[in-house]
Structure 1
Amino acid sequence: MSTVIEQTVEARLVAAAPRMHSVAATLHYDRRDPFAVRMTFPAPATLEGVEVCWTFARDLLTAGLHEPEGHGDVRVRPYGYGRTVLEFHAPEGTAVVHVHSAEIRRFLQATSELVAVGLEHLQLDLDHDLAELMRDAY
C-alpha cells in the first residue's frame, strides 16, 4: 500500500486584475507526516518563477471547508457554492486561490482512508525520531 497521496487540483489565482488564472496545483499527503498536507504551485504560477510548496495541517483544510479557519500563514474558508478559498500569507504578499470543494473533499477522503482522522499518532515513531535528533546533536 502506498504511503503517499497526490492529487492535482485546479487552483484559480485571485489577482488584482479582474480575471483569474487557473493553475494545476498539487495536494500531497504522506502517512509518515500524518498531520500535514502540502500544496505545491508550479513555477509559472509564482512571482519568483520557482515551484512553491506550503505545508499546513490536514485538520485546517478539513475545517475550512465548513467555516473560516486559520490565523497564521495559511487560512481556509468556504466561498459560495462549491468553492473553498485558501489564503497563503508571506512577507512578500498574500496569494489567494479558489479550489473546487469537491476536489478537496475527494483528497481528504483518500487521506482518511490511508490514515484515519484521530489515529494519526499511530503513524509516528517517536523513539526513532528522538534517536535521530540525538544522533545529530553529537
Structure 2
Amino acid sequence: MYAAVEETVQARLILSPHRSVRLRTVLSYLPEDPFAVSMAFPAEFSLDEAEDERSAEDIVWVFARQLLSSGLELPAGLGDVHVRPTVGRRTMVELRAPEGTALLRFDTTDLRRFLWRSRLLVPEGEEHLHLDADRALAQLLG
C-alpha cells in the first residue's frame, strides 16, 4: 500500500475581471501514478448544464505533476491545462473543456507545499522507479 498526498486548498474561480468566488480544491498525488496530480472541486462549479448538481460527484482533472511544477515559474501547458505565475505570489490554472474554460487562482505557497510533499514520496526524476508496468497494461486492456 502506497502513501498518498492530499491537500485541501482555497482557490478563486475567476468569473470576470472584477468578480471571483472562493473554491475549495483538493489536490492529490498517488505514488502508483507517479507522473500525475489530480485537482478536484465541487460539482456545483461544473460548466456541464446536463449534470444534476445534487447527485454529481466532484469534478476531477488529472494532469502532469511536472506541468504544475513548471507553471509556478514560467507559463506552461498545451491542450486542456495551462499553468502560469502571476503577480503577488499567485498562480493561475486554466482548465479548458468543450463546455468552456475555468480560470483558477491559487496561492503559490499552497501549490509549492503540495509539490514538496509529493516529492517526499517520489522525487522528481525517479517517477519511473514507481511505475507498475503489469498494472498499467492491465488497466489499458481493461
TM-score (norm 1): 0.90
Out of 97, 100, 125, the position equivalent to 1:93 is 100
Contact 1:74 1:86 in 2 (8 A): yes
Using the alignment, how far apart are the partners of 1:95 and 1:118 within structure 2?
30
Tell me how far apart the structure 1 counterparts of residues 139 and 112 of structure 2 sit (CA, whole Å).
35
Q: Cα offset for 1:57? A: 0.1
CA 1:125–1:93 in structure 2 vs 1: closer, same or farther (change >3 Å)?
Answer: same
> Which of the numbers 58, 64, 71 marks the counterpart of 2:65?
58
- Cα distance, 1:18 vs structure 2: 2.2
Cα distance in 1 for partners of 2:140, 2:17 equals 51
- In 2, the alpha carbon distance for the partners of 1:18 and 1:134 equals 44
| CA displacement at 1:126 relative to structure 2 | 1.1
- Aligned residue for 2:16, secondary structure, equals coil
1:7 CA drift (Å)? 0.3
Q: Is the contact between residue 6 and residue 28 of structure 1 (CA under 8 Å) also seen in structure 2? A: yes
For the structure 1 residues 16 and 5, does the alpha-carbon distance in structure 2 shift closer, same or farther, using more than 3 Å as the test? same
Aligned to 2:81, which of 65, 71, 74? 74
Q: Which runs of 5+ in 1 are unaligned?
A: none
Output aligned runs, 1:110-121, within 5 Å. 110-121=117-128
Alpha carbons 1:11, 1:22 under 8 Å: kept:
yes
Once the two structures are superposed, residues 30-68 of structure 1 have per-residue CA deviations (whole angstroms, 9 ceiling, x without a partner) of 001000000001123223433210000000000000000
Task: Please tell me the root mean square deviation across aligned C-alpha atoms, in Å.
Answer: 1.8
AA matched with 2:16:
A
d(CA) in 1 for partners of 2:3, 2:140:
26
What 5-or-longer segments of structure 2 have no aligned partner? none
Greater mean alpha carbon deviation, residues 42-51 or residues 6-15: 42-51
Partner SS, residue 39 of structure 1: strand
Number of paired residues?
135
Aligned partner of 1:109 in structure 2 is 116
Change beyond 3 A, Cα 1:60–1:3 = same
CA displacement at 1:23 relative to structure 2? 1.1
Say which SS state the counterpart of residue 76 (structure 2) adopts: coil
Distance between the aligned counterparts of 1:38 and 1:134, measured in 2?
A: 19
Q: Does 1:38 align with 2:38?
A: yes
